[in-house]
Structure 1
Amino acid sequence: MKINDVILQTVTRIAVFIILTMAIYLFISGHNSPGGGFIGGLILASAFVLLCLAFDIETIANGIPLDFKKVAATGGFIVLGTGLTAIFFDVPFLSQTHSYANLPIVGKTALSTVTLFEAGVALAVVGVVVTIISSISEDV
């Protein structure tokens, strides 16, 4: 018997947009204030969990055709890469650096390797959490 969850599915479409916006904000503001890749990744994964509650797993898998195990591995390699890159410049592992650049539209902007590290953490967290949630939901 198919249950008609029109209200839940409609609210989920709006809520996921809000959740994703909050996750991006927390990711971007993470190196200057509370937040970062870990909490941004957890919030991104919570959007996926909400989608799984409102829709079935097959619909979500068709809408987001990613292998989240590969997403987690990519995040891990990015984190490892930012750490090992420091060794090539004769500084300790995971040392970070930053500089300023004049971008065409934005103007003077700070660029940092911390952002790459946080992106790797976010991808690893999203990949692991979504893999766990999808494997649990397939067993039910």
Structure 2
Amino acid sequence: MNAMDSLILRTATRFLLPLLLIFSLFVLLRGHDEPGGGFIAGLVAAVAFSLYLFAFDASGTRRLMWMDPRPMLGWGLFIATLSGLPALFQGKAFFTALWWPVHVPGIGSVTLSTPLVFDIGVYMVVIGSVMAIVLALAEAEE
């Protein structure tokens, strides 16, 4: 019996996938002020997609992901690099961290920052690179 035939794995995956993805977003958003951030959050999300891959198949995993892994890697690198530009416009060194307080109705004051933008880029790079490798290996095996 392979993993594709496991009712327990498929059922557990349906419950764990959304929990792992929500947890990865929590780590991503929490990490720009606390330990964690884009790298570990990207690994958690990649584990979630890999679990789905093991329980189902590569084509289903590709459909589940909102973007192909290779362009995701490129866009993540672009976003991470882009996060360094606001500092240049303020006459500071590239990648100097900047914060902007924003008032959101119903929530209150939220702080947006260039480290968060950088972490989002890293998040996308990690998911894209890990999933490109894992999906390539899975598709070669199929």
Same fold (TM over 0.5): yes
Structure-2 residue corresponding to 1:31 = 32
Deviation, 1:88, is 2.9
Cα distance, 1:22–1:63 mapped onto 2, change above 3 Å = closer
Structure 1 residues 83 and 135: alpha-carbon distance in aligned structure 2, compared to 1, 3 A threshold = same
Report the TM-score when normalising by structure 1.
0.91
Q: Structure 2: 5+ residue runs without aligned partners?
A: none
Shift of residue 71, structure 1, vs aligned partner: 0.4
- Which moves more between the two structures, 36-45 or 59-68? 59-68
Please state how far the C-alpha of 1:61 moved relative to its aligned partner: 2.1
Q: Quote the RMSD (CA, aligned, Å).
A: 1.7
Shift of 1:48: 0.8
Taking the aligned partners of 1:26 and 1:104, their CA distance within structure 2 comes to 24
Residues 51-93 of structure 1 deviation map (CA, whole Å, 9 limit, x = unaligned):
1110011222233362110001000001111123322322111
Q: How many residues align?
A: 140
**1:34 CA displacement:** 1.3
Amino acid in structure 2 at the alignment position of 1:83: G
Whole-Å separation in 2 of the counterparts to 1:139 and 1:4: 20
Identity over aligned pairs, percent = 33
After superposition, the C-alpha distances for 1:100-132 in whole angstroms (9 at most, x for unaligned) are 121101112222121111101101111111001
- 2:76 aligns to what SS in structure 1? helix
Q: Hey, what does 2:10 align to over in structure 1?
A: 9
For 2:135 and 2:12, locate their aligned partners in 1 and report how far apart those are by CA, in whole Å.
21
Q: Is the 8 A contact 2:62 2:68 kept in 1?
A: no
- Per the normalisation by structure 2, the TM-score is 0.90
Report what 2:114 is aligned to: 113
